Structure 1
Amino acid sequence: MEKRFATLSVDSSPETLVCPFAEHSKPASLNSSTSRSESPTATERSHTPLHSASSHTDYEPPMQCPIFTQEVDPLLIKTSLEDRVAYLTDFLGFTSRDAELISKIAPTVNEVIPSMVDGMYAKMFEFDITKKIFLTRNQGFDGPLPQTLEELTLDSAQIVFRKVFMKAWARRVLTADYRNGKTWAYMDKVGIMHTGASPFKHQRTMGIAPLNVPYRDIALMLGWVQSALHSAILNIPDTTVSAADKIEAVVAINKVLWIQNDLFSRHYIGD
């Protein structure tokens, strides 16, 4: 799948869509002989919407082109990651411009990732239902594991281990090549590995239990990360990145996080 998926384009270039009303919506200056700016006759006025006898100006609503509806196979986007990502990026309007902006803010935002990850785990430790997740041994971790919530601290070996993974994910969001299908395949595996299933062959072979986190808490975590990244971007000095580019970068990061959210949720709800 990854080989076939490795040339994904985030800038779709469909053929130009022609509005069927184009001939009727030309400006009067382009064709004076067929101008629709002429005053309507009495008969025409009687059939003109919103026309009022007391009005000094005849209003004619502009002709508008209808929305062109694309066909999406709901079964195909369940089974084909390539088609699903194409749908997600098209719907959200994720383009190479978004990827460019993320790369632009990455060097500065990368500096706050360690403190962001520390803050995220501190937030999860504020609630027993999120803290107790880490009493279960995570895949790839073979160190000592606390048996009670009281024994589990932010300095526990497994938490330190999880922070390494979280930092790697955050840095990949900032530096990934979004034209490469392997980026989306990685994000999809991140989704799978939190559901209690293992997407990695070596983990299944070694009998390593995957992480099992309720989607409720996954969504909350992504929301927290989103706020932290937005704040980090907007606090970049204007001398480093312009205010306009920072606003666009916030939108770009937002798109990526919502795509990651979908690549989590699809493995929980099967849609």
Structure 2
Amino acid sequence: MTFRKDMLTMYLRHVLAEQEWNDTFLQYLSQVGKMHTNQAGLSSINIDYIHINVLLGYLQQTLIDILCNADNIDEINKHGILIAINKLFWIQNEFFTMHYFIPLKDDAIIIQTPPLTKKLKCCWM
């Protein structure tokens, strides 16, 4: 458990201190997603996607709570930091999804939904 906590701390330090989102950084995020599946050849680190997703949601909410309660950051900077936090976790989740879910094969059966027969209205109209 201590090892996983230390790895999570290292990950958060790395992603929160990153100044430039270049290809190297995106490859790092992709590698983080891949290493938690059985694709990396490490069966001992294979973690179910649901647990990864819950952890990412928890981390995002914790960082947002810390940000909202910080009195020494003005509203304009809080807004920018909030956007960056959301962007980071959306991108990281996308890499996890990409590595966890295998795309459909060409010969797979695809079920199509029937077309809508009545026009739907938005709930606020």
Superposition TM-score, scaled by structure 2 size: 0.74
Per-residue CA deviation, residues 214-263 of structure 1 (Å, 9 max, x unaligned), is 111111111111100101111222xx320221122112110110000001
Q: Number of aligned pairs?
A: 103
2:95 maps to 1:263: yes
Partner of 2:84: helix, strand, or coil? helix
Determine helix, strand or coil for the equivalent of 1:197. helix
Question: Is the aligned partner of 1:168 residue 2:2?
Answer: no
How many percent of aligned residue pairs carry the same amino acid? 32
Cα offset for 1:213? 1.0
Q: When you count helix as a share of all residues, which structure comes out higher?
A: 2
Partner residue, 1:152: none
Q: Which residue of 2 aligns with 1:156?
A: none
Q: 1:228 aligns with which of 52, 58, 62?
A: 62
Q: Deviations over 1:146-183 (max 9, x none)?
A: xxxxxxxxxxxxx1111110001111121113333211
Q: Does 1:194 align with 2:36?
A: yes
Q: Which structure 1 residue ranges, 5 or more long, are not aligned?
A: 1-158, 199-203
Larger Rg: 1
Moved over 2 A (4+): 177-180
Higher RCO, 1 or 2 (CA under 8 Å, sep at least 6)? 2
- Quote the Cα distance in structure 1 between the aligned partners of 2:68 and 2:18: 21
Paired residue secondary structure (2:39): coil
SS of structure 2 residue aligned to 1:225? helix
| Counterpart residue number, 1:182 | 24
- TM, length-normalised to structure 1: 0.36
Give CA-to-partner distance per residue, 1:34-83, whole Å, 9 cap, x none.
xxxxxxxxxxxxxxxxxxxxxxxxxxxxxxxxxxxxxxxxxxxxxxxxxx
CA contact (8 A) 1:197 1:210 kept: no
Per-residue CA deviations over 1:175-208 (Å, capped at 9, x if unaligned) read: 113333211111111101111232xxxxx6xxx6
Contact 1:195-1:211 at 8 Å conserved across structures: yes
Residues 49-64 of structure 1 aligned to structure 2 (within 5 Å): none
Q: CA RMSD of the aligned region, Å?
A: 1.7
